Amino acid sequence: MAVKCAIGLMSGTSMDGIDLAVVDTDGMDVVRRGPSAFVPYEAAFRRRIEAALDDAKAITRRGERPGDLAGLEREITLRHARAVERFRADFPGAAGRADLVGFHGQTVLHRPDKALTVQLGDGPLLARETGLAVVFDMRANDMVHGGQGAPLVPVYHAALARSLPADMARFPVCLVNIGGISNVTFVPAIGDPFAFDSGPGNALIDQWVSAEGGVPFDADGMIASEGGIVRAVADAYLDKPFFALKAPKSLDRNDFTLDLATGLELADGARTLAA
């Protein structure tokens, strides 16, 4: 297959900004990895996205954009366009030769039990703004065919596993991705990879330290390192029905909340949520 140069864009459930990366791929394997960058969202815009999660609860069909969602979708798309423009200017030799853009958008609702997932992002608008072909709306087709629509990263995990040097390749390979939500990918020696969301990740910790400590995230885990695990609270989280479900399974950011951690000290709450 022909090798294409792609710029990948991701704004994850941590809602902290836009990640950009260049990869040369034939659609199955990673041929070459290029530069990467991160464009942070300012605090006010993060709060706007967080508020939009409540608007998204009213969605019953993927195309609906109640409340602020339509305006937010346009703003998110334009911010991604500006990020691509800057990225290509900063790395003209790699990003400047891109054939296409992979545009995930911002997840605001994920309900696999209803075959419903919504990512804010206008692919045609991004294509017009960047002048590049854009691949977007990546999760919906899987859900239409009975899948979970998440996690998405295992496609890349499988490519990474296949690219391991012979002296390091010990299959099956297990890769763990801790984003806003955590997921696990198993890559066997033969056959397709198997993956699922394994539980909450950084999103809960970010919410906790923001609400209780006034900071957007726990840098280097320093806050959590000063606390202790409150076992009763950790066990209450682990008793959630999600953990008893068989894979494949996936999570919405709002499936886990801070309710069980109410009343904990800042450091103890961060440590317990990280446990």
Tell me which of 77, 111, 144 is where a domain ends: 144
Whether residue 136 is found in the same domain as residue 214: no
Determine the distance from the C-alpha atom of residue 98 to the mean position of all C-alpha atoms in its chain, rounded to a whole number.
22
| Contact yes or no for 204/273 (Cβ under 8 A) | yes
Where in the sequence is the domain holding 105, given as residue range(s)? Answer: 4-144
Domain-embedded: residue 210: yes
Domain-embedded: residue 264: yes
Alpha helices by DSSP H, 24-181: 43-56, 69-90, 123-130, 140-144, 154-162
Q: For residue 228, count other CB atoms closer than 10 A to its CB.
A: 12
The 10 Å CB-count burial string (b at 16+, else e) for 96-113 is eebebbbbbbbbbbbbbe
Q: Is 149 exposed, middle or buried (0-12, 13-18, 19+ CB in 10 A)?
A: buried
Instruction: Report the distance separating Cα 257 and Cα 118, nearest Å.
Output: 20
Model pTM greater than 0.95?
Answer: no
State the total domains in the chain: 2
Angle, CA 13 vertex, CA 209 and CA 195 arms, to 5°: 120
Q: Which of 153, 45, 134 is nearest to 81 (CA)?
A: 134
Whether residue 11 is found in the same domain as residue 140: yes
Whether residue 221 is found in the same domain as residue 241: yes
φ, ψ of residue 274 in degrees (nearest 5) = -85, -10
Instruction: Report the distance separating Cα 212 and Cα 264, nearest Å.
Output: 10
Q: Which of 103, 114, 106, 181 is nearest to 138 (CA)?
A: 103
Instruction: Report the distance separating Cα 117 and Cα 253, nearest Å.
Output: 12
What does the pLDDT read at residue 163? 85
Residue at token pair 């010990």: 170
Whether residue 113 is found in the same domain as residue 191: no
Domain-embedded: residue 149: no
Domain-embedded: residue 262: yes
Instruction: Report the distance separating Cα 105 and Cα 12, nearest Å.
Output: 8
The CATH number assigned to the domain holding 65 equals 3.30.420.40
Whether residue 20 is found in the same domain as residue 130: yes
Read off the tokens for 75. 């703003």
Residue at token pair 């296409």: 100
> SS3 string of 62-74?
CCCCCCCHHHHHH
Tell me which of 120, 144, 168 is where a domain ends: 144
Instruction: Report the distance separating Cα 40 and Cα 105, nearest Å.
Output: 15
Whether residue 183 is found in the same domain as residue 132: no
Whether residue 138 is found in the same domain as residue 195: no
Q: For the chain, 275 residues long, give each residue's pLDDT as a single digit of tens.
A: 799 999 999 998 888 999 999 999 998 888 889 999 999 999 999 999 999 999 999 999 999 999 999 999 999 999 999 999 999 999 999 988 999 999 999 999 999 999 999 999 999 999 999 999 999 999 989 988 999 999 988 889 998 888 888 787 788 999 999 999 999 999 998 888 999 999 999 999 999 999 999 999 999 999 999 999 999 999 999 999 999 999 999 998 889 999 999 999 999 999 999 98
What does the pLDDT read at residue 29? 84
Residue type (1 letter), 250: S
CA distances 217 to 50, 181, 214, 226, Å, are: 15, 15, 9, 15
Read off the tokens for 130. 């960047």
